[in-house]
């Protein structure tokens, strides 16, 4: 009996210590400041959260090599099916300095929201055009300062039925303003994680759906960029294509 108790303490103890460390770390993050640089510690913190989430979610990632995507900064975009989408992308891009444009409500998530804020995540309120424009400008400025890439979900919200939603094409202004390429990821399987976890494994497939160079972007409007990427997502999602 004592042996089982000791094993339980050895398992639970480190977990509680880890959660306590994250909680204390979140207390040092301003709830109003937009950060422009994350320390190595807070980069470790967000990556460890992603690793733990994938581990306890029993997630296996399957997909393309990332060696083919451009080196340096970029605007990363992705379809949106699950709250696990940013977790998967942050883990895939952990060797690159990357942050996210996200809805303000996500900063209210206990501990995780503050850790994300400290990793330079940028709030966007699409219901208020002026605030949305400010977020787009802040994202472009962050890229132009030379360290971070930015990830956005052009659908703006999760697709509850699995279909590709209409795009908010204004987000592609970030790449045009910053002079960086657009790299489009497509995820399939994240929508199953919640129902499968923690006992049943979920295979999440990721695909580098498209890469549009900075030079090519100069000749395209945001609508053309959105149509091209959305059509690629529709193909991968088995929905055919729409007129460009």
**This prediction's pTM:** 0.91
pLDDT at residue 15, rounded to an integer? 79
- Decide if pLDDT at 5 tops 60: no
- Decide if pLDDT at 28 tops 70: yes
Mean pLDDT confidence for 231-237: 95
- Decide if pLDDT at 147 tops 60: yes
pLDDT at residue 2, rounded to an integer? 55
- Decide if pLDDT at 165 tops 90: yes
Residues 6+ apart with CB under 8 A from 153: 77, 78, 79, 80, 85, 101
**Which residue would you say has higher pLDDT here, 174 or 242?**
174
Mean pLDDT, rounded, of the chain: 91
For the chain, domains (ranges, CATH) are 2-236 (3.40.1130)
pLDDT in tens, 189-219: 999 999 998 889 999 999 999 999 999 999 9
- Decide if pLDDT at 244 tops 60: no
C-alpha gyration radius of the chain:
19
pLDDT category at 3 given cuts 50, 70, 90 is low
pLDDT at residue 16, rounded to an integer? 86
Mean pLDDT confidence for 138-156: 94
Beta strands 75-78; 98-102: pairing state = unpaired
pLDDT category at 121 given cuts 50, 70, 90 is very high
Mean pLDDT confidence for 153-160: 90
């Amino acid at each position: 009996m004592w042996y089982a108790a000791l094993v339980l303490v050895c398992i639970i103890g480190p977990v509680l210590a880890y959660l306590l460390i994250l909680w204390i770390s979140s207390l040092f993050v301003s709830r109003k400041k937009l950060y422009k640089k994350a320390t190595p510690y807070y980069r470790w913190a967000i990556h460890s959260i992603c690793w733990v989430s994938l581990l306890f979610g029993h997630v296996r990632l399957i997909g393309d090599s990332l060696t083919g995507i451009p080196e340096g900064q970029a605007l990363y975009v992705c379809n949106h099916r699950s709250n696990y989408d940013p977790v998967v992308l942050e883990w895939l891009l952990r060797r690159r300095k990357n942050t996210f444009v996200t809805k303000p409500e996500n900063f209210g998530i206990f501990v995780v929201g503050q850790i994300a804020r400290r990793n330079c995540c940028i709030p966007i309120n699409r219901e208020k055009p002026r605030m949305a424009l400010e977020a787009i400008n802040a994202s472009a400025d962050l890229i132009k300062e030379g360290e971070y890439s930015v990830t956005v979900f052009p659908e703006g919200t999760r697709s509850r039925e699995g279909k590709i939603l209409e795009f908010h094409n204004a987000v592609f202004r970030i790449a045009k303003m910053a002079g960086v390429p657009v790299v489009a990821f497509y995820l399939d399987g994240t929508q199953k994680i919640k129902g499968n976890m923690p006992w049943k494994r979920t295979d999440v497939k990721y695909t580098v759906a498209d890469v549009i160079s900075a030079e090519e972007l100069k000749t395209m409007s945001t609508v053309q960029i959105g149509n091209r990427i959305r059509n690629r997502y529709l193909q991968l999602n088995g929905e055919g294509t729409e007129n460009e």
